[in-house]
Amino acid sequence: MRLRNKPGAPAKIANYPQYVVDTPEKWQGRWKERFGNNNPIHIEVGTGKGRFVTEMAKLHPEINYIGIELQMSVVVVALDKLIAEDLPNLQLLHVNGGALTQYFAKGEVSQVYLNFSDPWPKTKHEKRRLMYHDFLVGYEEILIPQGEIHFKTDNQGLFEYSLHSFSKYGMLIEKVWLNLHESDFEGNVMTEYEEKFSNRGQRIYRVVASFPKK
């Protein structure tokens, strides 16, 4: 997802430090304090315009959500949704999902969502894929033992790559959906990309994979 640079974006983000965390490293190991409760923390890496995390936070007040997004021009779109909904259990982080161990302590996160991650189809860009080995190292460190990754995509190639990468890493593939919207899966919350691709007739794949207890 590429949005044009928005000139007002940095100022807007700076105006809402209660929603877009300005010094995330400061909260490493202290996210429960920031949310003001002991509820589990679920993160979405590559949250885009934020529809998924916003809807999930509305549906599940007993879970704390953190949407993580690299592009500032996209973070401000997610921020608008959060301002409108004023959800106490949702925060946004404008950081690289490849550096999560700087912002979360070991076992601080209960679940990782990856939704319609950029496919980076060229082999030379493999390291940018959010399910590449080095990202898995980071997720494993910040997740609770047996913590899960929930990934969905319309991209068959990236889906197959994720199964391969998860297995190669020693993760357990818990469940796979080869056609999510035609399955008995209940409670699916659509993302912006999911709506766009499913409206075009694209099939949606989903996988849940866990890190085995060490």
Integer Cα distance of 50 and 138 in angstroms: 22
Torsion of CA 130, 136, 140, 146, to 10 degrees: 90
Are 57 and 49 contacting, i.e. CB atoms less than 8 angstroms apart?
Answer: no
Helix/strand/coil (H/E/C) assignment for every residue in 4-65: CCCCCHHHHHHHCCCCECCCHHHHCCCHHHHHCCCCCEEEEECCCCCHHHHHHHHHCCCCEE
Q: 22 an active-site residue?
A: no
- 148 versus 192: smaller Cβ distance to ligand SAM: 192
Does 45 bind ligand SAM (CB under 6 A)? Our answer is yes
64: Cβ contacts below 8 Å, ≥ 6 apart: 31, 35, 37, 39, 40, 41, 42, 89, 90, 91
* Contact map string, positions 121 to 160, toward ligand SAM, x by CB under 6 A: ----------------------------------------
Among 165, 171, 191, 207, binds ligand SAM (CB under 6 A): 191
Are 71 and 3 contacting, i.e. CB atoms less than 8 angstroms apart?
Answer: yes
Q: How many whole angstroms from its chain centre is CA 156?
A: 19
Site stretch for ligand SAM (CB under 6 A), options 24-32, 66-74, 104-112, 203-211 = 66-74
Among 64, 89, 91, 115, binds ligand SAM (CB under 6 A): 115
Among 13, 21, 27, 47, binds ligand SAM (CB under 6 A): 47
Does 97 bind ligand SAM (CB under 6 A)? Our answer is yes
Smallest distance from ligand SAM to CB 43, Å: 10
* Count of residues near ligand SAM by CB under 6 A: 21
Whether 122 has a binding-site annotation, put simply, is yes
Among 116, 132, 139, 211, binds ligand SAM (CB under 6 A): 116
Torsion of CA 124, 159, 190, 91, to 10 degrees: -50
Whether 96 has a binding-site annotation, put simply, is yes
Smallest distance from ligand SAM to CB 2, Å: 8
E strands, 46-142, are 64-68, 90-93, 109-115
Does 193 bind ligand SAM (CB under 6 A)? Our answer is yes
Of residues 22, 80, 86, 118, which has the active-site annotation? 118
Positions annotated as catalytic residues are: 118
| Residues at the site binding ligand SAM, with contacts judged by CB under 6 A | 1, 45-48, 68-71, 74, 96-98, 115-118, 191-194
